[in-house]
Amino acid sequence: MIVRSPQVQRRKAGRTGCAVEATLSVIGGVWKPVILFHLLAGKLRFNALCRLTPSATPRMMTLQLRELEADGVIKRTVFPEVPPKVEYELTELGKSLEPILITMRDWGDRFQKTL
């Protein structure tokens, strides 16, 4: 088993100096919060994540997962098997996003009901 230790590149709020900007630079976009939300349940393999987010292309999933890994929010584990087995899971930093992701889900549920 190979656990890649990401070189964490902590992002600062470069444009505005606002901490919200720093948060959005890490978890912003359409797919990153969805990926993180699914990983709250535990480890998932790449294909499982793709099945859970069918509108995202595999290329987009790969890019988003790499960015989340580089920011230290998720951990990628590669098992030495043929075919290769790769699992993704939240790091402690990633787990600290749980209250934010749950609040986003709850707000989205309420918003969709008002449409």
Structural domain containing residue 69: 12-114
- What average pLDDT does this structure show over 87-99? 97
Task: Confirm whether 16 is domain-assigned.
Answer: yes
pLDDT tens, residue by residue, 43-72: 999 999 999 999 999 999 999 999 999 999
Task: Confirm whether 35 is domain-assigned.
Answer: yes
Task: Confirm whether 5 is domain-assigned.
Answer: no
Cα gap 12→81, rounded to integer Å: 38
Q: Number of folded domains in the chain?
A: 1
pTM of the model: 0.85
What CATH number should be reported for the domain holding residue 46? 1.10.10.10
Task: Confirm whether 4 is domain-assigned.
Answer: no
Paired strand residues for 85? 79
Task: Confirm whether 97 is domain-assigned.
Answer: yes
What pLDDT does residue 7 have?
A: 54
